[in-house]
């Protein structure tokens, strides 16, 4: 369970509205992680759905490359070979369609069916050679659903919400529902673009992630 729920919402909102999140551009710069992220976001915006996006082999390769650029194949993190990566993602297409359908009907924080579906997706996705899933799955799902789902890491996200880096599917779902509460706030819905930038702060989920990174002050 997320402790100090309301206080954390206030902290994140303040970080976004005071434009502190603009510091993230200087913090992370414009290296390959940004290049592939921007390229991927453009490709994703050209597709009406996750399924149509995934029908293009080139898009899957950029998805793979962006995860590598975001640190998912360095130190202890090791990704599966791209053929296994593709097979695993494509096996989840039907669930991705269901998730998009729920999103189209309204905020995911109030839909009781979203939690079980996110659990199914999370448990079905396994793109790493290791058993760890939260960081890779959350980044992958953010890339596929950039307006809906935020990326996460251990040192920042899990420490901020739970005070530890122990991952679980339940924590993932709780954090997604928490972030969706912020996304559904009237001011964020209507005015989020004035807080955004053309680099790292391009969607509300990513701005929430960036605010958490700045509030905790650590990087994976």
- Please tell me the total count of domains within the chain: 1
pTM attached to this predicted model: 0.95
Give the model confidence (pLDDT) of 95-143 as tens digits: 999 999 988 877 676 677 889 999 999 999 999 999 999 999 999 999 9
Residue 110's pLDDT is 66
Degrees to nearest 5, angle at CA 132 with 136 and 149: 35
Tell me how far CA of residue 28 lies from CA of 17, 33, 67, in angstroms: 20, 9, 16
Contacts of 70 (CB under 8 A, 6+ apart): 33, 36, 37, 139, 151
Pick from 138, 143, 140: nearest CA to 154: 138
Q: Strand, helix or coil at 61? A: helix
Degrees to nearest 5, angle at CA 125 with 3 and 170: 20
Pick from 183, 181, 80, 182: nearest CA to 137: 80
Exposed / middle / buried, residue 159 (Cβ in 10 Å: 0-12, 13-18, 19+): middle
Residue 88 zone, left/alpha/beta (φ > 0; ψ -120 to 50; rest): alpha
| Domain span including residue 90 | 5-216
Give the model confidence (pLDDT) of 51-107 as tens digits: 999 999 999 999 999 999 999 999 889 999 999 999 999 999 999 999 999 888 776
Q: Is residue 220 very low, low, confident or very high in pLDDT (cuts 50, 70, 90)? A: very low
**Structural tokens at position 219:** 């990087």
């Amino acid at each position: 369970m997320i402790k100090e729920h309301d206080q954390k919402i206030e902290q994140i909102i303040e970080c976004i509205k005071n434009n502190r999140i603009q510091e993230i551009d200087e913090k992370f710069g414009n290296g390959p992680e940004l290049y592939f992220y921007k390229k991927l976001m453009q490709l994703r915006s050209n597709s009406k759905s996750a399924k149509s996006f995934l029908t293009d082999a080139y898009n899957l390769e950029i998805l793979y490359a962006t995860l590598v650029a975001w640190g998912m194949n360095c130190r202890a993190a090791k990704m599966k070979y791209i053929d296994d990566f593709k097979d695993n993602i494509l096996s989840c297409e039907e669930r991705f369609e269901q998730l998009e359908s729920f999103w189209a009907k309204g905020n995911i924080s109030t839909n009781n069916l979203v939690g079980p579906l996110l659990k199914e997706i999370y448990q079905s996705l396994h793109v790493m050679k290791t058993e760890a899933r939260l960081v890779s799955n959350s980044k992958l799902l953010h890339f596929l659903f950039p307006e809906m789902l935020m990326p996460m890491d251990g040192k920042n996200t899990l420490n901020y919400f739970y005070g530890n880096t122990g991952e679980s599917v339940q924590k993932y779902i709780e954090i997604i529902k928490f972030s969706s509460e912020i996304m559904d706030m009237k001011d964020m819905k209507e005015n989020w673009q004035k807080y955004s930038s053309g680099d790292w702060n391009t969607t509300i989920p990513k701005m929430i992630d960036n605010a958490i990174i700045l509030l905790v002050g650590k990087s994976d």
